[in-house]
């Protein structure tokens, strides 16, 4: 509830996140770790809670268990007695392959929630951006402007705009056009900047339902908000923009962490001497439980400037150097090692005399003594065009093949019943493929 108004929140958290692969091979994109002790979706959820919006539905799809586990561990404090909740909603299997066909299709297949709750307004959010916003202010702007749709808008350089939906609006902030990921954004730029759609929408419920139903009937639609719903809404209704800087508490910061390089750079932004973004939310109370999850911010003095790192709880560091890096919980780093400009996920074990630079090391990887990563000898590792090295979860260095036989039991999100190699090999527990298909327990 926002004042006297009934607001229902739907968070789209089901994308494959292919551009973040291999980090998304065993988890959903919004469940990718961030800042040591958080997940990407925590920022959207925190925005909801701090905006007084606490009836939240999360639409999941791929690797949903990773999301469900995190919500149970971190977000179970909301009071059901007061009507607060965070629910995860898997696909309802109404399509042939059981998955949503687009962002609009995801909301369309959950219209029963709108029927049950009868909200005045529906807030539609994305679970894979890093930013802070007061959604309550956006909803109030929507009401005051008598809009059918309000779109949160920001700006970026003309060079970056081809990766986003570009927006044009008039002097009264009424949106006149949407252009989804234009190959040449220059016709839409002003002073070297383009206005872009940040993927946060407030809809008047009746208008939303009409648009979704009409879109579902079109066989040639991509069933996507940016490509279909919003352009049509401009023609048929009143669509207004809401400036991100007007509803962002503290210093405005927004980043799409949809690629490995942008995900990495967002972490490096945290480590600047004067960071453009801080994990400590200015809206938290002094005794907020979320302060307990904050990693320590520790300075290392370099030759020419002060360099910072974030060190999470339960970390063991020997006589080693940590420079401009994010170290997640329960990481162990041996003597004589050096970790520089890197992101180390939880449970990683770094041996002695190891050198790591410009790398992302996923959960549970064991790095042998004397290994060098990110120093130009990375043929065996995945890396981006910008030279960022990524070692995925489950990666085995030479001599570690012994552990491969138990990977299926430790990597639950990627377990597939149809794969013959994933059926237990113990003769006493082996079951046939036919039994798997017909079993009532599957």
What's the pLDDT tens digit per position in 27-60? 889 999 999 999 999 999 999 999 999 889 999 8
Give the DSSP H or E segment for 211. Answer: helix 205-216
Q: Is the pLDDT of residue 95 over 90?
A: no
Between 84 and 96, where is the model more confident? 84
Q: Answer yes or no: are the C-beta atoms of 130 and 257 closer than 8 Å.
A: yes
Q: Answer yes or no: are the C-beta atoms of 314 and 329 closer than 8 Å.
A: yes
Closest C-alpha among 293, 197, 295 to residue 240: 197
Q: Is the pLDDT of residue 271 over 60?
A: yes
Give the DSSP H or E segment for 311. Answer: strand 306-311
Contacts of 160 (CB under 8 A, 6+ apart): none
User: Which tens digits make up the pLDDT trace of 199-240?
Assistant: 999 999 999 999 999 999 998 899 999 899 999 999 999 999
Q: Which of 115-124, 185-194, 300-309 has the highest mean pLDDT?
A: 115-124
Tokens of 360: 């992302």
Tokens of 49: 């809670």
Specify the length of the chain in residues. 442
- 126 DSSP β-pair partners: 12
Give the Cα separation of 441 and 266 in Å (integer): 43
Tell me which of 238-247, 279-288, 296-305 is least confident: 296-305
Closest C-alpha among 200, 209, 226 to residue 137: 200
CA–CA distance from 393 to each of 20, 62, 314, 348, 357 (Å)? Answer: 13, 17, 20, 10, 18
Give the Cα separation of 312 and 35 in Å (integer): 9
How confident is the model at residue 180, as a pLDDT?
86
Q: What is the largest CA-CA distance in the chain?
A: 73
Give the Cα separation of 128 and 125 in Å (integer): 9
Q: What is the DSSP string of 124-160?
A: EEESSEEE---HHHHHHHHHHTT-SEEEEEEEEETTT
- CA angle at 66 for the pair 63 and 69, rounded to the nearest 5°: 140
Q: Is the pLDDT of residue 257 over 90?
A: yes
How confident is the model at residue 3, as a pLDDT?
61
Mark residue 315 as left, alpha or beta (left: phi above 0; alpha: psi -120 to 50; beta: remaining).
beta
Give the Cα separation of 381 and 210 in Å (integer): 49
Q: Are strands 326-327 and 306-311 parallel, antiparallel or unpaired?
A: parallel
| Confidence grade of residue 362 (pLDDT, cut at 50, 70, 90) | very high
Contacts for 88-92: CB closer than 8 Å, 24+ residues apart = 88/58, 88/60, 88/64, 89/57, 89/58, 89/59, 89/60, 89/113, 90/60, 90/61, 90/64, 91/14, 91/61
Q: Is 107 helix (H, G, I), strand (E, B) or coil?
A: helix
What is the end-to-end Cα distance of the chain in Å, rounded? Answer: 39
List domains and CATH numbers for the chain: 7-257 (3.90.550.10), 259-442 (no CATH)
């Amino acid at each position: 509830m926002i004042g006297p108004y009934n607001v229902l929140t739907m968070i789209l958290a089901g994308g494959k996140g292919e551009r973040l692969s291999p980090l998304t091979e065993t988890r959903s994109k919004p469940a990718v770790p961030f800042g040591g002790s958080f997940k990407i979706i925590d920022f959207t959820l925190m925005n909801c809670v701090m905006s007084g919006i606490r009836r939240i539905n999360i639409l999941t799809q791929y690797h949903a268990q990773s999301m469900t586990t995190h919500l149970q561990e971190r977000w179970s404090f909301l009071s059901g007695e007061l009507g607060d909740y965070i629910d995860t909603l898997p696909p309802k299997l109404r399509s042939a392959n059981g998955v949503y066909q687009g962002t609009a299709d995801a909301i369309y297949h959950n219209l029963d929630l709108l029927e049950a709750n009868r909200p005045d307004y529906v807030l539609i959010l994305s679970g894979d951006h890093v930013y802070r916003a007061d959604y309550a202010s956006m909803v109030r702007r929507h009401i005051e402007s008598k809009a059918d749709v309000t779109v949160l808008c920001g700006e970026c350089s003309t060079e970056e705009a081809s990766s986003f939906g570009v927006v044009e609006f008039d002097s009264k902030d009424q949106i006149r056009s949407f252009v989804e990921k234009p190959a040449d954004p220059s016709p839409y730029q002003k002073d070297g900047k383009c206005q872009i759609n940040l993927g946060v929408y407030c809809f008047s419920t009746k208008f939303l339902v009409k648009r979704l139903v009409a879109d579902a009937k079109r066989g040639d639609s991509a069933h996507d908000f940016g490509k279909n719903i919003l352009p049509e809404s401009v023609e048929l209704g009143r669509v207004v923009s809401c400036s991100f800087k007007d509803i962002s508490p503290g210093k405005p910061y927004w980043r799409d962490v949809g690629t490995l390089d942008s995900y990495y750079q967002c972490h490096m932004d945290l480590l600047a001497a004067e960071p453009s973004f801080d994990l400590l939310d200015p809206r938290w109370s002094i005794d907020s439980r979320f302060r307990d999850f904050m990693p320590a911010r520790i300075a290392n003095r370099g030759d020419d400037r002060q360099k910072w790192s974030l060190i999470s709880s339960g970390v063991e560091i020997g006589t080693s150097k940590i420079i401009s890096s994010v170290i997640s919980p329960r990481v162990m780093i041996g003597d004589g090692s050096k970790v520089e400009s890197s992101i180390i996920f939880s449970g990683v074990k770094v041996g002695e005399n190891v050198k790591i630079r410009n790398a992302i090391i996923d959960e549970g990887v064991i790095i042998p003594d004397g290994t060098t990563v990110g120093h130009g000898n990375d043929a065996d590792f995945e890396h981006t065009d910008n030279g960022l090295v990524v070692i995925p979860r489950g990666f085995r260095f030479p001599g570690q093949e012994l552990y491969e036989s138990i990977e299926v039991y430790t990597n639950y999100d990627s377990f597939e019943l149809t794969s013959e190699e994933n059926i237990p090999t113990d003769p006493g527990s082996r079951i046939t493929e036919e039994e798997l298909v017909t079993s009532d327990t599957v």
